[in-house]
A and B are shown apart, each in its own frame.
Chain A
Amino acid sequence: METNYDAIVVGTGISGGWAAKELCEKGLKTLVLERGPMVKHVEDYPTMNNDPWDYKTGDVITQETKKTQGKQSRTGYTTTESNKHFFVDDVKHPYNETNRFDWMRGYHVGGRSLMWGRQSYRLTDFDFTANLQDGIAVDWPIRYKDLAPWYNHVEEFIGVSGENVGLPQFPDGNYLKAMEMNCVEDVLKSSMSEKYDDRILTMGRTAHITEGSKPGLGRSNCQYRNRCMRGCPFGAYFSSNSSTLPTAEATGNMTLRANSVVHEVIYDADTKRATGVRVIDAETKEVYEFNAKVIFLCASAIPTTSILMQSKSERFPNGMGNDSGELGHNIMDHHLGVGASGRFEGFEDKYYTGRRPNGVYIPRFRNIGGNTNRKDFTRGYGYQGGASRGNWSDSIAEMAYGAAFKEAVTTPGDWRMGLGGFGEILPYHDNKMTLDYENLDQWGLPTVTFDATIKENELNMRKDMQQQAAEMLENAGFKDVRGYDGDYAIGLGIHEMGSARMGRDRKTSVLNANNQLHDVPNVYVTDGAAMTSAGNVNPSLTYMALTARAANHAVEELKKMNI
């Protein structure tokens, strides 16, 4: 069995797939290790065409499911019958909560790139300079101009549908044709452009092909089935499985080994370099070592940091690269579950075709200078939302039951629209993960203990998020507008990040401006662990861009023999 490679990539999700593609395309013989089982594009999407009536009690979360996926079910939607197989068994993959932490995972080839929400936005200099300006945590060691060409690079390859609006807090990009708003969303858009000069409504930017095709395993146009999380037979949305992994494989330079649990990076104190990784086979429990000149940790934030923490040596008694003591700290997410909804009277003779796998979006309008700056909270939030014709309407209620009621039930209900906020969580040192060596998993590895909560800045922000959503809907003429602020705990945004942050100073950060460990330059971390602040936008596009940029850097460094 071959054990020596030019590069090792740990993980095959959003960032791992990109590391594999970039490194293989640049000629490196790359071993890609995934802890979970193989999932082949289309072949291994068993539920992709199922209708709700293909399930005994519909496509819902059952009590039976909650027995093994109790924590995964906290989202209320990810563990329905058609999706649950792509989320982990909580009994097999336990973790500990000092404070409630909702940790949603997909352990298989493709990771969460198979089930993600596909919303794709860029960070901006409002985000990159935020810590510096607020005197919070540490400054990002990069700025927007460093990442902009890489955002272009990844958007071009994967295909992102959306529109350019020319706002500094919502940068223009390479977008495929935007999806259409429906009649009621158009009403809100017009109302906002009339009544507000500081915010707009636009279409969501989503990693779907809406024209042409993109590279991979035959990726073609979205068919508007909105069954994305199950895997798409058209490859219409971006996943590692349909896009980056096949591209890596086509180079002939990739070796993909599934069922491989990486638990340690091996360090050579003489060369001051990592030399490889230790692996436990997920099924047989046999142990292996693989060697490489460069290692990319892309296992997703928490597992990547776990691997670094487990990589102890005389030089690194507290985990590899942890001289700063920041490893495991500064965990963030986006807080959500707050906003408003209302009913719209009108357009009873209008409808829509296609199940749009995307919503509308309101870019950040708070704390971006001048009058937008608030005293009650720093940072910002955006909204995702949409209008639809639901099940119930006043006329149905009047029919009560019987033949006329039955007839009414077969017609579209009232128009309702909702706006749900996604808010930035500050990097708090105290929001952390540790490893519990008293509670080991079935591979003999320590389980993760989370201790992280949102605090005053987030709570104050949530009040504004709810109030503003309600106000915008009311101003547009929606009726029965109701705000909501639901049950949020860190992790529920499924954007858990931080724990091995980038920074300028090795005394206060884990990674440098190139995503290398400050102290072990041939180890790169390019998944969510790297994030120095969370911004308020969905982070996956940023992970892709960071990964492509870092892979480019790694290859250059190898050529120069710096690593």
Chain B
Amino acid sequence: MDRRKALRNIGSGIGAIAITPTVVSLFQSCQTAVTYTPVFIPAEDFGIVSNLMELIIPKTDIPGAIELKLPEFADAYIDAVWDKERQDNFVDAWKAFKEAGTSAAGKTNASELSGTDWDAQLAKYLKPGNDVPAGEEDAAKFAGQLRNLTVNAFKTNEFIGENVLAYAPVPGQQKGCVDLMETTGGKAWSL
């Protein structure tokens, strides 16, 4: 079966991703038992960013962003790897994302936004086919960057790399053209 068609049929036909009770509750209590002190992301924003990452890679039968500690990874990553200019641009984009979201939801403070509000923002910037409203280019950039950071953190995660993706630390042989389903059950190599 055409893989593209198969994937397309999953979760199609709606403007925003289906809002589950879990998503709604994510943002209601910012008690992500904070034992982690972020090194880059401002402490007051870490909860929101974590929840946004959970929207991008939610818990399914595989753990989601929060359980996998992807927000911690992304935070450390930005701090260690990006240069000052890139970090500063990210901070500006994050501010723009917060402002656009706050404004769109008709609120005065980012902390008042609900899961549905944040989800609508991600949908607006990440779902293809939507034009980025004028003045919201930086906010849209943030959404794209956060998604990239989340995916990078996901793929660099030990649990995912060894248990979810196909893991072969010592392949032993090299074959150029093999059947995907037979070889890895359809999964990408983690290494």
Interface residues of A (CB under 8 A from B): 49, 51-53, 56-58, 60-64, 179-183, 185-186, 222-225, 347-356, 389, 391, 394-395, 397-413
Max chain B Cβ within 10 angstroms of own Cβ: one of A58, A180, A395, A401? A401
B30 within 8 A of A: no
**CB-CB under 8 A for A57 and B77, given A400-B126, A405-B56:** yes
Interface string of B120-150 (1 = CB under 8 A from A): 0011001110000000000000000001000
Q: Are the CB atoms of A398 and B8 closer together than 8 Å?
A: yes
Measured CB to CB, the closest approach of chain A to B164, in angstroms, equals: 6
Measured CB to CB, the closest approach of chain A to B159, in angstroms, equals: 9
Which residues of B lie under 8 Å from residue A53 when comparing CB positions?
156-158, 161
B191 within 8 A of A: yes
Which residues of A lie under 8 Å from residue B164 when comparing CB positions?
410
A63 to B81, CA, bound (A): 5
Which residues of A lie under 8 Å from residue B179 when comparing CB positions?
349-351
Please tell me which one of the listed residues A186, A348, A391 contacts residue B151 in the complex, with CB atoms under 8 A apart: A391
Measured CB to CB, the closest approach of chain A to B13, in angstroms, equals: 12
Q: Are the CB atoms of A353 and B171 closer together than 8 Å?
A: yes
In the assembled complex, 19 residue pairs joining A and B whose CB atoms fall closer than 8 Å, in A order, are A53-B157, A58-B156, A62-B81, A179-B176, A180-B176, A224-B174, A348-B180, A351-B178, A351-B184, A352-B177, A353-B173, A400-B122, A400-B126, A403-B10, A404-B11, A407-B7, A409-B154, A411-B186, A412-B188
Measured CB to CB, the closest approach of chain A to B105, in angstroms, equals: 19
Which residues of B lie under 8 Å from residue A352 when comparing CB positions?
174-178
A41 to B78, CA, bound (A): 35
Which residues of A lie under 8 Å from residue B151 when comparing CB positions?
391, 409
**CB-CB under 8 A for A56 and B177, given A224-B172, A391-B151, A403-B58:** no
Q: Are the CB atoms of B57 and A406 closer together than 8 Å?
A: yes
Which residues of B lie under 8 Å from residue A353 when comparing CB positions?
168, 171, 173-175, 178, 183
Q: Are the CB atoms of B174 and A354 closer together than 8 Å?
A: yes
Q: Are the CB atoms of A406 and B158 closer together than 8 Å?
A: no
Interface residues on B, range: 35 or more
Q: Are the CB atoms of A355 and B191 closer together than 8 Å?
A: yes
Please tell me which one of the listed residues B64, B161, B170, B187 contacts residue A225 in the complex, with CB atoms under 8 A apart: B170
Which residues of B lie under 8 Å from residue A398 when comparing CB positions?
7-8, 128
Measured CB to CB, the closest approach of chain B to A126, in angstroms, equals: 31
Which residues of B lie under 8 Å from residue A413 when comparing CB positions?
188
Q: Are the CB atoms of B156 and A394 closer together than 8 Å?
A: no
Please tell me which one of the listed residues B18, B77, B161, B180 contacts residue A349 in the complex, with CB atoms under 8 A apart: B180
Q: Are the CB atoms of A399 and B11 closer together than 8 Å?
A: yes
Please tell me which one of the listed residues A58, A181, A182 contacts residue B152 in the complex, with CB atoms under 8 A apart: A58
B95 within 8 A of A: no
Q: Are the CB atoms of A52 and B183 closer together than 8 Å?
A: no
A404 to B8, CA, bound (A): 9
**CB-CB under 8 A for A406 and B58, given A51-B158, A225-B170, A349-B3:** yes
Q: Are the CB atoms of B181 and A57 closer together than 8 Å?
A: no
Measured CB to CB, the closest approach of chain A to B132, in angstroms, equals: 14
Interface string of B73-96 (1 = CB under 8 A from A): 100110011110000000000000
Q: A63-B82, A348-B3 are in contact. List 13 more A-B contacts (CB 8 A).
A: A51-B169, A51-B191, A53-B157, A62-B80, A181-B176, A186-B177, A225-B169, A350-B180, A355-B171, A356-B176, A406-B62, A406-B154, A410-B188
Which residues of B lie under 8 Å from residue A399 when comparing CB positions?
7, 10-11
Which residues of A lie under 8 Å from residue B83 when comparing CB positions?
63
Q: Are the CB atoms of A52 and B156 closer together than 8 Å?
A: yes
Q: Are the CB atoms of B191 and A52 closer together than 8 Å?
A: yes
Which residues of B lie under 8 Å from residue A356 when comparing CB positions?
174, 176
Please tell me which one of the listed residues A49, A57, A61, A407 contacts residue B73 in the complex, with CB atoms under 8 A apart: A57
- Which chain A residue lies CB-closest to B55? A401
Measured CB to CB, the closest approach of chain A to B31, in angstroms, equals: 24
B2 within 8 A of A: yes
A347 to B177, CA, bound (A): 9
Measured CB to CB, the closest approach of chain B to A346, in angstroms, equals: 11
Measured CB to CB, the closest approach of chain B to A355, in angstroms, equals: 6
Which residues of A lie under 8 Å from residue B191 when comparing CB positions?
51-52, 355
A185 to B176, CA, bound (A): 9
Which residues of B lie under 8 Å from residue A58 when comparing CB positions?
77, 152, 156
A348 to B2, CA, bound (A): 8
Q: Are the CB atoms of B161 and A49 closer together than 8 Å?
A: no
Please tell me which one of the listed residues A179, A180, A402 contacts residue B17 in the complex, with CB atoms under 8 A apart: A402
Q: Are the CB atoms of B178 and A350 closer together than 8 Å?
A: yes
A11 to B100, CA, bound (A): 61
Q: Are the CB atoms of A350 and B177 closer together than 8 Å?
A: yes
**CB-CB under 8 A for A224 and B171, given A51-B191, A53-B157, A353-B178:** yes
Which residues of B lie under 8 Å from residue A186 when comparing CB positions?
176-177
A409 to B152, CA, bound (A): 10
A223 to B191, CA, bound (A): 14
Which residues of A lie under 8 Å from residue B169 when comparing CB positions?
49, 51, 225
B165 within 8 A of A: yes
A181 to B160, CA, bound (A): 28
A401 to B175, CA, bound (A): 33
Which residues of A lie under 8 Å from residue B158 when comparing CB positions?
51, 53
Which residues of B lie under 8 Å from residue A185 when comparing CB positions?
176
Measured CB to CB, the closest approach of chain A to B81, in angstroms, equals: 5
Q: Are the CB atoms of B10 and A407 closer together than 8 Å?
A: yes
Q: Are the CB atoms of A394 and B10 closer together than 8 Å?
A: no
Measured CB to CB, the closest approach of chain B to A43, in angstroms, equals: 19
Which residues of B lie under 8 Å from residue A62 when comparing CB positions?
80-81
A57 to B172, CA, bound (A): 28
Measured CB to CB, the closest approach of chain B to A38, in angstroms, equals: 27
Q: Are the CB atoms of B180 and A182 closer together than 8 Å?
A: no
Nearest first, the 10 closest Cβ-Cβ pairs linking A and B are A354-B174, A180-B176, A404-B11, A402-B17, A53-B158, A354-B171, A183-B177, A404-B10, A182-B176, A351-B180
A409 to B177, CA, bound (A): 21
A53 to B3, CA, bound (A): 29
Q: Are the CB atoms of A180 and B175 closer together than 8 Å?
A: yes
A407 to B10, CA, bound (A): 10
Which residues of B lie under 8 Å from residue A350 when comparing CB positions?
177-180
A179 to B179, CA, bound (A): 18
A183 to B183, CA, bound (A): 15
- Which chain B residue lies CB-closest to A392? B151
Q: Are the CB atoms of A391 and B176 closer together than 8 Å?
A: no
Q: Are the CB atoms of A354 and B126 closer together than 8 Å?
A: no
Which residues of A lie under 8 Å from residue B155 when comparing CB positions?
391, 409
B60 within 8 A of A: yes
Q: Are the CB atoms of B188 and A408 closer together than 8 Å?
A: no
Measured CB to CB, the closest approach of chain A to B15, in angstroms, equals: 10
